[in-house]
Amino acid sequence: MKFLFILDSLDSLKAYKDTSVAIMRAAQARGHQIFSCTQGDLFWKDRVFALAGGLSLTGNDEDWYQVQEPKQTALASFDAVLNRKDPPFDLEYLTASWLLAQAERDGARVFNKPAAVRDHNEKLGILEFAQFVAPTLASSDPERVHAFIDEQRDVILKRLDGMGGESIFRVRVGDPNRHVIVETMVQGGARTIMAQRYIPEITKGDKRVLLIGGKPVPHALARIAKPGETRANLAAGGRGVAQPLSAQDRRIAETLGPVLAARGLLLVGLDVIGDHLTEVNVTSPTCFREIQDQTGFDVSGMLLDALEAELKAAHR
């Protein structure tokens, strides 16, 4: 089969830990043809095309790819299009999702489904599953945010379009900087943010639980913050420790999995702290390599099994 991966620039990917590289290598090992393009290479002219180059991947993490001269190719001519472009979910990302939705109407098979990605903000996506969520507020009103801080005493503030630990603040009720932090976050009432009660179990890790085709990967990656840091994200210097799913991790995963898969979300990364769901990541979930390397479980193989099953079912 022919798979097109929409990625950030190839030179920006760190092959030794990158999930997209792990998936592409596993797909190539199965005999699939791999092509890549960037978000900016998508365009519409009678139908949706990409300026896409064929990729040959090596096992060398330094010199890990060779790319052919890109050619104008209709997205519908690929067996699958996998959008692995990292956030931010800005206007260009949104525009790409509209183009990918049109490509679906042209006959392309896009994963994750563009409409489902648009409908699931990675922070607000938890609100649908409130039974698993710690006390939470979503608001642009600074006074409402301050009232929530007063009520909960110790909170985490997040912007809705952040990634990798960007724009995340821990604010305690007596924090002398709380007013300037809140003012900066909500931008005078112009920007909605999320506030969540601080969950002390973050010291044991912010767990990434992967859902593939609605089913949980049996191991989570607990991302543990470095000393003196609240954020456990790997991009913020956290370290990842793979561990079996807890009973609550599995309960959350088995509740959300079938619902999200039915909406066209083949791959989802749930963030769980303690017993609480904190994010539902649908854009380009990561942590494959860390789980694979530490446990031997073939996460990439599980994804390809699910992808191939979906494609075969579509051709019946």
Q: What is the pLDDT of residues 13-40, one digit of tens each?
A: 999 999 999 999 999 999 999 999 999 9
Q: What is the pLDDT of residue 124?
A: 96
Residue finishing a domain among 180, 198, 216: 198
Average pLDDT (119-127) is: 96
Dist CA 20 CA 7 (whole Å) = 8
Answer with the residue of higher pLDDT: 21 or 161.
Answer: 21
pLDDT at 235 over 80: no
Residue of 132, 148, 134, 158 lying closest to 255 (CA atoms) = 132
pLDDT at 232 over 70: no
Q: Residue 299 sits in a domain of what CATH number? A: 3.30.470.20
Residue 127 domain-assigned? no
Residue 218 domain-assigned? yes
Average pLDDT (197-212) is: 96
pLDDT at 80 over 70: yes
Residue finishing a domain among 198, 221, 251: 198
Tokens 């960037």 appear where?
A: 38
Q: What is the pLDDT of residue 136?
A: 98
Exposed e or buried b per residue across 104-126, where buried means at least 16 C-beta atoms within 10 angstroms of its C-beta: beeebbbbbbbbbbbebbbbebb
Average pLDDT (202-230) is: 92
Average pLDDT (74-94) is: 96
How many Cα atoms occupy the beta-carbon half-sphere of 251 within 13 Å? 10
Same domain, 190 and 205: no
Q: Residue 103 sits in a domain of what CATH number? A: 3.40.50.20
Same domain, 192 and 210: no
Residue 130 domain-assigned? no
Residue 126 domain-assigned? no
Same domain, 210 and 306: yes
Same domain, 148 and 211: no
How sure is the predictor about 236, in pLDDT bands with cuts at 50, 70 and 90? low
Average pLDDT (56-85) is: 97
Same domain, 218 and 191: no
Same domain, 188 and 255: no
Average pLDDT (256-271) is: 98
Catalytic residue numbers?
A: 123, 158, 208, 223, 231, 271, 279, 281
Q: What is the pLDDT of residue 233?
A: 67
Same domain, 23 and 84: yes
| Strand-by-strand arrangement of the 136-139 sheet | 136-139, 193-197, 154-159, 168-172
H helix intervals, 125-164: 142-152
Same domain, 179 and 207: no
Mean pLDDT score across all residues of the chain:
95
Residue 221 domain-assigned? yes
Q: Facing residues of 195 across strands?
A: 137, 157
Residue of 54, 50, 34, 35 lying closest to 99 (CA atoms) = 50
Q: What is the pLDDT of residue 230?
A: 67
Structural contact between residues 289 and 16, judged by C-beta atoms closer than 8 angstroms: yes
Q: Whole-model pTM above 0.85? A: yes
Q: What is the pLDDT of residue 237?
A: 73
Q: The dihedral of CA 64, 300, 107, 98: what is its sign?
A: negative
Dist CA 178 CA 183 (whole Å) = 8
Q: Which domain holds residue 288?
A: 201-314
Structural domain total, the chain: 3
Average pLDDT (198-210) is: 96
Do the strands 2-7 and 33-38 form a parallel or antiparallel pair, or are they unpaired?
parallel
Same domain, 97 and 151: no
